[in-house]
A and B are shown apart, each in its own frame.
Chain A
Amino acid sequence: MSVQEDGGHRGTEIAARTERRWATISVIIIVAMALLAAFAGIHRATMPQPRVETTDPSRLHLSGEFAESNLGSVLEANGAVTVRAIGQQYSFTPACIVVPAETPITLRATSADVVHGILVQGTNINTMLVPGYISEQLMRFEKTGDYLMPCQEFCSFGHEGMWGKVRVIDQAKFAELAKSGGRLSCVGQ
């Protein structure tokens, strides 16, 4: 490249051309990244939740989807599992979520008071719980075992004590438990 001040017109042109090339490369990099993100989202099924759904946080316990008797895991007719949970100062209910391995799972959760977050360590399960809105996330566990599930957003002074758990058990074992009906969880075990 030309460093002389009197490089004149030709110097300017060379400089401009080099810049244009670099700008083109930059744009290509960026477009490639955006496409990659979209592609990965579809093929790894990690897209943000498709709908915005609302609910009244102070009346969750009275009736409907997030009433206490409906919280926990349920085996649906199609073999998939739905988990319903709430976050509140300073615990998740159920505090221990039980799910089968190698099964598509839909997590539906909301907050009863302030903003919380659900994060399952060692996975990419991660969603905010915003009072007034319902969070939905698809998940699937390949390996059985216990996973920690801390609250990942400051929810006032007891935030440091808000840790839940996810227990992934064998598919057959889960089906056995599900036979008795009701909502499953692993609290108190």
Chain B
Amino acid sequence: MLANRKLILAHFWLAFAVFGVALMLGAWQMFIRSPLGTWLSNPELYYRSLTAHGTVMGYVFPTLVAMGFGYAISESALEQRLVGVRWGWAGLWLIVIGSIMAVIPVALGRASVLYTFYPPLIGSPFYYIGVVLVVVGSWIWVALMSINLRVWRRANPGKAVPLAMFANVAGSYLWAWTALGAALELLLQIIPVSVGLKATIDAGLARVFFSWTLHAIVYFWLMPTYIAYYTIVPRAIGGRVYSDTMARISFILFLVVAMPIGMHHTFADPQVGAGFKFIHSAFTALVALPTLLTVFTICASVEIAARLRGGRGMFGWIRALPWDNPMMLALAFSFVMLGFGGAGGLINMSYQLDSSIHNTQWITGHFHLIFGGAIVIMYFAIAYDLWPHLTGRELVDLRLIRTQLWLWFVGMIVTTFPWHWVGILGMPRRMAYFDFGDPAIAPQALSVTFSAIGGFILLTSGILFLVILARGMRSPAAEAGAYRFSLAVHQPTTVPLALNTHALWVALMIALTITNYGYPILTLAMTEGTSVPAVYVGAQ
């Protein structure tokens, strides 16, 4: 039984509540800009909604999930009481305050700058300060994860850190470092302009800072999902992790190569040198490595489960898998979406292919498939798996859970596949409405309609998810026992120092950030005359 259930539940409930609201906004956006909706007489409402949707889904929701899950991992994997519970609550409150502070100007239409900020567009300072508070709140969690691991190490010298905690701490370090880019952009560039201390801003430098955060943040979102792949799925379906070492290497690789690749978001930008674009492109290719390794290890682990259940034959074992187990279903859906999304990602990483889809609807389709699909469906699975341990009550209706997962999967495919397609046709991003009556873009209308329908399927699934969790709070009490993670086929007792600690990899992460970002940031910062007048959005 977890000792700090309230803290963890508070994170999860807040995460899923804001997720529900942002999901509703998302579905509305899909609808209103599709041929099914009528044009908005105030397009600003669309951008307002888009700002709220992106800010919640990008910054608040996944951060809270990672934090809640991180506390649960720390307690259960290390089998020790969480150190710094009060700080944990303080972090959560900072996020609550930051979110409220950010959402008020957004709701009033005073910060419709979208979650990517992109100066010289400037909105209300409260929006930016709110986002900073959210990040600072999450940094408390990063510190707590590190401290808890240290406390455990002192009590267990030389022992192998449990994989779940090793990965969790890796994820937290990645976040601490990757969030720094946007934090620097906000604190050094945007907020001074927003509060009126400065009148000009270097838009190019801001985009470079933002790319520092914007790509690696994806791997921070991904961390809980990968932790679930390795440490929950095999246990839940009755198997073993194929290799503990490979798992550690995957997480280490994410730590090292997730950071120095963000400039593939700026391939089409005029302020970054072509040489650095190439380096970032090559490192982006490298980030496929941990995913390829993971796919192999997890498929092998799943095969072990199947064979333990009596599966036979080259592919016959697939039938022996526990398909009625929600975890199995979620994993399969997640992998399918990861496969398609990853293939799309390979296109984005090379600037030749990227130029045909850069900033089109393809990109939105891509990250919804990866993040909203492959990653978030595992967030659902994590919540289902943890819920009995958090509430002391059983989730009884497995059928409803399976329906929810199916709906999410189908909804995501129906939403994102046509979305990718219209991107290839050149449909630009982030527009409040389109004139589908014009013959030049009329062929896109059908695809956009499908996407909008997919959006409503997703909304249905999301509501169902919240209903299942809420009902789970009131079902009959049942002792769930200790929360356990998967064991490896060869459970390690000792692992090499480098695979048991993060220092070397954090050092490499920082070193690569300096080599890949240092020069571009410094030159842009030192060049005179690249700052441009701020443009304040909306009613002042």
Contact = CB atoms under 8 A, between A and B. Distances in A.
A and B touch in the complex (CB under 8 A): yes
Contacts of A114: 118, 120-121, 203, 535
Interface in B271-306: 271-274, 277-278, 281-282, 285-286, 288-289, 292-293, 296-297, 300, 303-304
B26 to A, nearest CB: 16
Given A22-B293, A30-B289, A49 B270 contact: yes
Main secondary structure of the interface of A (DSSP, over half): mixed
A132 B202 contact: yes
Interface in A1-49: 1-3, 5, 7, 11-12, 15-16, 18-19, 22-23, 26-27, 29-31, 33-34, 36-38, 40-41, 44, 46-49
Contact of B352 (A1, A29, A44): A44
A7 B307 CA distance: 15
A189 to B, nearest CB: 17
A132 B285 contact: no
B288 A15 contact: no
B355 A124 contact: yes
A53 interface: yes
Interface in A135-185: 135-136, 146, 148, 150-160
Contact of A133 (B267, B270, B304, B538): B270
Interface stretch (A67-75, A93-101, A115-123): A115-123
Nearest to B430: A154
B351 A37 contact: yes
B268 A117 contact: yes
A130 B203 contact: yes
A148 B441 contact: yes
Given A150-B428, A152-B360, A157-B43, A127 B270 contact: yes
A148 B426 contact: yes
A3 B351 contact: no
A102 interface: no
A64 interface: no
Nearest to B33: A160
B498 interface: no
B207 interface: yes
Given A49-B270, A49-B274, A15 B242 contact: yes
Contact of B246 (A1, A19, A150): A19
A41 B303 CA distance: 41
Given A30-B289, A125-B355, A19 B425 contact: no
B358 interface: yes
B341 interface: no
A89 B533 CA distance: 14
Contacts of A115: 118, 120-121, 203, 207
Nearest to B120: A114
B350 A128 contact: no
B537 interface: yes
Contacts of B430: 153-154, 159
B429 A134 contact: no
A188 interface: no
B91 to A, nearest CB: 31
Interface stretch (B155-163, B412-420, B523-531): B523-531
A56 B204 contact: no
Contacts of A7: 489
A44 B489 CA distance: 49
Given A114-B121, A130-B270, A133-B270, A15 B352 contact: no
B219 interface: no
Nearest to B533: A58
Contacts of B278: 38
A132 B203 contact: yes
Nearest to A131: B532
Contacts of A27: 289
B177 to A, nearest CB: 23
Given A3-B307, A160-B431, A58 B296 contact: no
A130 B269 contact: yes
Contacts of A47: 274, 351
B532 A132 contact: yes
A113 interface: yes
Contacts of B146: none
Contacts of B266: 128
A132 B528 CA distance: 11
Given A34-B282, A126-B355, A160-B431, A133 B271 contact: yes
A119 B359 contact: yes
B434 interface: yes
Contacts of B352: 37, 40-41, 44, 46, 124
Contacts of B353: 37
Contacts of B308: 3
B367 to A, nearest CB: 16
Given A19-B243, A46-B352, A114-B535, A56 B529 contact: yes
Given A3-B307, A30-B286, A154 B429 contact: yes
Contacts of A123: 356
A135 B529 contact: no
B270 A156 contact: no
Nearest to A89: B535
A52 interface: yes
Nearest to A112: B532
A117 B432 contact: no
B428 A132 contact: no
A58 B530 CA distance: 11
A132 B269 CA distance: 12
Given A117-B428, A152-B429, 16 more contacts: A3-B304, A15-B490, A19-B293, A19-B296, A27-B289, A48-B274, A48-B277, A58-B532, A128-B266, A131-B532, A153-B118, A154-B429, A157-B112, A157-B537, A157-B538, A159-B47
21 contacts: A2-B489, A3-B240, A16-B243, A18-B300, A29-B288, A38-B278, A41-B352, A52-B271, A52-B272, A52-B273, A113-B120, A113-B532, A117-B358, A123-B356, A128-B268, A152-B358, A153-B429, A154-B430, A156-B121, A156-B537, A157-B43
- For the complex of A and B, list the 9 residue pairs with the smallest distance between their C-beta atoms, beginning with the closest: A121-B426, A37-B350, A152-B359, A133-B270, A124-B356, A26-B292, A160-B431, A152-B428, A135-B270
